[in-house]
């Protein structure tokens, strides 16, 4: 064990030594993953040579080498903490740097605070809530966390400018160059905290928010300015300010920003859980987002979400890029959200993560006021609301987005979302969409015809059946649709005429009585299966697994009536609940019963006629 710990510490020392020799500047306290991302390929190979000695054979790719080196760091963690062994992926399964980084963060976050820190913060904040509705309290708390974040970012830059010879710390342009918000003197956290116990604290915060918006056009209309309302307890507000003021206390300001970003994201999830069904309108559970991102692998290009909620898809996409040696900015982010309060959450979420994103809002939404008509995205990730019946489809019968297909039914928006997303894909783009299970098999109002046409146009790449209880907003089982504009060879194998089916209903574990999550191993199994099937260079060879995955040809799918339920293809047991809405299922059953009544009446008439023709001998 001592040797393994020594090897882990040697890795960090070697990284710093190699970087120093090449004039590469590194942060002294950064995690191995972040350190490795700063090195070029030659430097990475030198680190590997010094740590493990010369290697024979073909040089590994950058990603494979990074995974190998990070595995050494994880071995050191496992030696010091035997519980880390439980988090290892199954034998023969590769673990991406992002997954390894996630496992490390649950043990020890970069700032020295474990996940228990966020949980304790939440418990304290939730206690202060009292009888206030979680949906309202969310905006109060998250607004203050955002205020502390931008103040800490500003103060960190302010301190740096004070040490520069010809810089002016009070010049707003000095901050704009580094994409840092300018914070007026009376809006800075130090001023807010000094006023925390005064009865006028609500008015002080409102004025601070208004001043920040006035000096930063990108935040116009984003910040809550209702802290002075009489219904909001000023005592509670003062205690909340004191609590949030402890986030990052004792750390340098740069690390404090990272902690605030984590707390903001953690609180979003907790508020979604507290709100139940309402929480699903602004938050997609982490494990579902992780499946989408790990499967699509958005390394670089344009990323789009037409119903982006609080922006969780974007945050995880940026994390993926950083974990694979890229940098913030390698992907360009675009989104639209029709709920104004949710749009505000998304704008703040991007800001506390340091993500520059073009997120639009209007009250009509992506169907009726498409803000990004000309966008063709390389990756689209979306979790639209399930089975929306009043989406205004009757006003869009001849829309350009449905060209080549039947217009989606006015009574259900599921296929409208699919065709909207398909329309916005670039010629080589891919998409991952969360929808209700009914979308895989419904034949109501022409949905079966649209699904058949999508298959004939060969834009359906993969279908994943999910277990129930993954979402805050519904207990209906859901599925993932993966679309591809082209399945011709473009870095992957030729997949034309094939669809991959994955049945993941038996994966995951219950985190409480009502909600399920995927483990890292579950996510890796799903993503690795898709990558192997696509023929990615570093993936293992693909093989069908009975009960879990099957690659099917279009002819076979046609024999099943173009139904895309994975259980039909992978030889799983029948679905307990396919997620078809009650109204739709009832209409189908009623029509079937009426037909059976008609057939029964016809049969009864035939029998009576035959009986009448039978003579009785006297």
Beta pairing, strands 377-382 & 478-484: unpaired
What is the spatial distance between Cα 349 and Cα 90, in angstroms, rounded to a whole number? 34
Judgement on whether residues 493 and 348 belong to the same structural domain of the protein: yes
Q: What is the mean pLDDT of residues 473-502?
A: 91
User: Do residues 313 and 191 both lie within one domain?
Assistant: no
Query: DSSP character for 403?
Result: T
- Cα(341)–Cα(282) distance, integer angstroms: 9
Handedness of CA 337, 342, 343, 346 (dihedral sign): negative
pLDDT at 364 over 80: yes
Lowest mean pLDDT among 49-58, 226-235, 480-489, 503-512: 49-58
Burial 378-391 (b: 16+ CB within 10 A, else e): bbbbbbbbbbbeeb
Do both 249 and 347 map to the same domain? no
pLDDT band for 253, please (50, 70, 90 cuts): low
Q: What percent of the chain stands above pLDDT 70?
A: 81
Of the listed ranges 305-309, 471-475, 513-517, the one predicted with least confidence: 471-475
In a domain? residue 613: no
In this predicted structure, the answer to whether residue 86 has a pLDDT above a threshold of 60 is: no
- The H helix count followed by the E strand count for the chain is 22, 11
In-domain check, residue 581: no
Question: pLDDT by residue (tens digit) across 65-79?
Answer: 777 787 755 554 444
Together in a domain, 382 and 443: yes
Checking DSSP bridges between strand 425-436 and strand 377-382, what pairing results, if any? parallel
Look at the chain and report how many structural domains it folds into: 3
**Residue 436 and residue 359 share a domain:** yes
Same domain (yes/no): 58, 206: no
Q: Which two tokens stand for residue 58?
A: 């073909």
Contacts of 281 (CB under 8 A, 6+ apart): 309, 339, 342, 385, 473
Say if 394 falls within a structural domain.
yes
Highest mean pLDDT among 30-34, 158-162, 277-281, 408-412: 408-412
Question: Which whole-number Å values give the CA distances from 87 to 100, 107, 286, 594, in the listed order?
Answer: 9, 11, 17, 55
Residue 578 domain flag: no
Between 168-182, 412-426, 428-442, 490-504, the lowest mean confidence (pLDDT) is in: 168-182
Would you state the pLDDT for residue 550?
97
pLDDT at residue number 89: 41
Q: Last residue of a domain, which of 88, 106, 131?
A: 88
In the prediction, which pLDDT does 354 show? 76
d(CA 258, CA 25): 20
The mean pLDDT value for 194-220 works out to: 94
Average pLDDT of the segment spanning 285-300: 92
**Tokens standing for residue 435:** 């929808």
pLDDT above 60 (res 84): no
pLDDT value at residue 467: 92
Confidence of residue 345 (pLDDT cuts 50, 70, 90): confident
Q: Which of 223, 253, 275 is the last residue of a domain?
A: 275
pLDDT of 257 over the 90 cut: no
pLDDT tens digits for range 378-424:
999 999 988 899 999 999 999 999 999 999 999 999 999 999 999 99
Answer yes or no: is pLDDT of 232 > 80. Answer: yes
Instruction: Say if residue 79 is in the same domain as residue 207.
Output: no
For the cut 60, the answer to whether the pLDDT of residue 618 exceeds it is no
Residue 131, domain CATH:
1.20.1260.30
Both 341 and 430 in one domain: the answer is yes
Average pLDDT over residues 285-296: 92
Nearest to 384 by CA among 434, 312, 431, 419: 434
> CA 147 to CA 212: how far, in whole Å?
9
What are the start-end ranges of the H helices in 81-200? 97-107, 115-129, 134-162, 173-176, 189-194
Q: What is the pLDDT of residue 461?
A: 98
Predicted confidence (pLDDT) at residue 260 exceeds the cutoff of 80: no
Task: Report whether 161 contacts 174 (CB < 8 A).
Answer: yes
Q: Which two tokens stand for residue 161?
A: 């400018």
User: What's the pLDDT band for 494 if we cut at 50, 70, 90?
Assistant: very high
| Environment class of 8 (CB within 10 Å of its CB; exposed 0-12, middle 13-18, buried 19+) | buried
> Domain with 288 in it: what CATH number?
3.40.50.150
Write 547-550 long-range contacts (CB < 8 A, 24+).
Answer: 547/503, 547/571, 547/572, 548/502, 548/503, 548/504, 549/500, 549/501, 549/502, 549/503, 550/500, 550/501
Residues 211 and 282 in one domain: no
Top-confidence residue, 208 or 324: 208
252-261, 499-508, 563-572 — which one is most confidently predicted on average? 499-508
Helix/strand/coil for 311: coil
Whether 45 maps to a domain, the answer reads yes
Q: Which residues pair with 435 in a beta bridge?
A: 479
- Yes or no: say if 392 and 416 are a contact pair by the CB < 8 Å rule: no
Indicate if the pLDDT at residue 55 is higher than 90.
no
Question: pLDDT: is 566 or 56 the higher one?
Answer: 566
Give start and end residues of each alpha helix (H) in 188-311. 189-194, 201-215, 234-244, 253-275, 286-296
Model pLDDT, residue 605 = 83
Within a domain: 229:
yes
Q: Give per-residue pLDDT as tens, 89-110.
A: 443 344 443 344 334 333 333 3
CA separation for the pair 396, 419 (Å, rounded): 13
The residue with greater pLDDT, 101 or 592, is 592
The answer to whether residues 48 and 166 belong to one domain is no
Top pLDDT among 502 and 77 is at 502
Is a pLDDT exceeding 50 seen at residue 6? no
Residue 388 Cα to chain centre, angstroms: 21
| % the chain with pLDDT above 90 | 44
Same domain, 351 and 407: yes
Count of alpha carbons within 13 angstroms of residue 586, beta-carbon side: 3
Residues with Cβ < 8 Å from 210, sequence gap 6 or more? Answer: 223, 225
Q: Give the CA distances from residue 606 to residues 571, 596, 599, 603, in Å, rounded to whole numbers and listed in that order.
A: 42, 15, 11, 5
Range of the domain at 148: 115-275
Q: Look up residue 31 and give its DSSP letter.
A: -
Q: 476: alpha, beta or left, given left = phi > 0 and alpha = psi -120 to 50? A: beta
What SS3 class is residue 172?
Answer: coil
- The verdict on 32 and 149 lying in the same domain is no
Give ∠ CA 44-49-51 in degrees, rounded to 5: 95
Domain finish residue from 247, 275, 303: 275
Q: What is the chain's mean pLDDT, rounded?
A: 82
Q: Higher-confidence residue: 551 or 43? A: 551
Q: Is residue 291 included in any domain, yes or no?
A: yes
Average pLDDT over residues 188-197: 94
Using CA atoms, how far residue 134 sits from 138, 243, 278, 589, in Å, is 6, 18, 10, 40
Q: Is residue 554 within 8 Å of residue 497, measured between CB atoms? A: yes
Contact call for residues 407 and 399 (beta carbons, < 8 A): yes
Residue 303 pLDDT > 50: yes
At 3 the pLDDT is: 40
Q: Which residue has the tokens 């040697």?
A: 10
Q: Who wins on pLDDT, 546 or 179?
A: 546
Annotate 409-445 with b (16+ C-beta within 10 A) or e (fewer): bbbbbbbbbbbbbbbbbbeebbbbbbbbbbbbbbebb
Domain-embedded: residue 135: yes
Please check whether residue 264 is in contact with residue 146, taking contact to mean a CB–CB distance below 8 angstroms: yes
> Cβ contacts of residue 48 below 8 Å, gap of 6+?
55, 65, 68, 69
Classify the C-alpha dihedral 56-57-62-67 as positive or negative: negative
Closest CA to 530 of 470, 480, 568, 574: 480
Higher pLDDT, 8 or 537: 537
Report helix, strand or coil for 33.
Answer: helix
> In degrees rounded to 5, what are phi and psi of residue 414?
-55, -50
CA distance 216 to 314: 22
């Amino acid at each position: 064990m001592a040797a393994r710990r020594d090897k882990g510490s040697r890795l960090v020392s070697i990284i710093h030594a190699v970087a120093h020799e090449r004039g590469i500047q590194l942060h002294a306290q950064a995690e191995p993953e972040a350190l490795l991302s700063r090195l070029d390929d030659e430097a990475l190979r030198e680190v590997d040579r010094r740590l493990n000695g010369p290697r024979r054979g073909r040089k590994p790719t950058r990603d494979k080498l990074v995974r190998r080196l990070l595995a050494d760091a994880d071995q050191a963690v496992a030696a010091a903490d035997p519980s880390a062994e439980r988090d290892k992926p199954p034998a023969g399964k590769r673990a991406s740097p992002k997954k390894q980084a996630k496992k490390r963060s649950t043990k020890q976050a970069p700032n020295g605070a474990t996940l228990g820190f966020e949980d304790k913060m939440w418990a304290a904040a939730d206690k202060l809530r009292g009888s206030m509705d979680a949906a309202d309290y969310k905006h109060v708390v998250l607004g203050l966390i955002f205020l502390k974040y931008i103040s800490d970012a500003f103060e960190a830059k302010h301190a740096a400018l004070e040490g520069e010879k010809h810089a002016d710390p009070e010049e707003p342009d000095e901050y704009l160059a580094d994409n840092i918000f300018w914070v007026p003197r009376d809006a800075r956290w130090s001023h807010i905290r000094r006023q925390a116990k005064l009865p006028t604290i609500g008015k002080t915060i409102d004025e601070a928010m208004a001043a920040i918006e006035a000096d930063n056009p990108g935040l116009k209309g984003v910040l809550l300015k209702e802290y002075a309302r009489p219904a909001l307890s000023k005592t509670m507000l003062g205690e909340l300010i004191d609590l949030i003021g402890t986030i990052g206390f004792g750390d340098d300001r740069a690390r404090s920003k990272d902690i605030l970003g984590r707390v903001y994201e953690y609180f979003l999830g907790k508020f979604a859980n507290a709100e139940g069904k309402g929480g699903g309108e602004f938050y997609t559970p982490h494990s579902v987002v992780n499946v989408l991102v790990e499967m699509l692998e958005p390394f670089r290009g344009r990323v789009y979400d037409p119903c982006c909620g609080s922006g969780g898809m974007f945050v995880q996409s940026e994390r993926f890029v950083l974990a694979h040696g890229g940098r913030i900015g390698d992907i360009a982010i675009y989104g639209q959200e029709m709920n104004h309060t949710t749009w505000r959450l998304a704008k703040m979420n991007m800001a506390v993560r340091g993500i520059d994103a073009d997120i639009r809002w209007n009250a009509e939404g992506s169907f009726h006021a498409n803000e990004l008509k000309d966008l063709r995205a390389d990756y689209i990730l979306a979790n639209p609301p399930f089975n929306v019946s009043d989406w205004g489809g009757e006003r869009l019968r001849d829309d350009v987005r449905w060209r080549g297909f039947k217009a989606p039914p006015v009574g259900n928006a599921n296929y409208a979302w699919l065709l909207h997303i398909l329309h916005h894909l670039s010629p080589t783009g891919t998409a991952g969409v969360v929808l209700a299970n009914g979308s895989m098999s419904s034949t109501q109002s022409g949905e079966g015809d649209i699904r058949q046409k999508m298959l004939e146009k060969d834009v359906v790449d993969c279908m994943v059946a999910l277990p129930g209880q993954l979402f805050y907003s519904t207990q209906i089982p859901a599925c993932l649709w993966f679309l591809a504009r082209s399945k011709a060879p473009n870095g992957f194998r030729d997949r034309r005429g094939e669809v991959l089916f994955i049945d993941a209903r038996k994966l995951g574990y219950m985190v409480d009585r009502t909600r399920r999550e995927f483990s890292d191993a579950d996510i890796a199994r799903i993503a690795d299966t898709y990558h192997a099937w696509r023929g990615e260079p570093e993936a293992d060879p693909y093989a069908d697994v009975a009960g879990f995955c099957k690659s099917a040809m279009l002819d076979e799918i046609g024999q099943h009536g173009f139904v895309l339920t994975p259980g039909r293809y992978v030889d799983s047991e029948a679905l307990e609940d396919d997620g078809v809405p009650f109204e739709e299922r009832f209409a189908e059953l009623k029509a079937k019963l009426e037909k059976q009544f008609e057939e029964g009446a016809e049969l009864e008439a035939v029998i009576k006629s035959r009986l009448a023709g039978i003579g009785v001998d006297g």
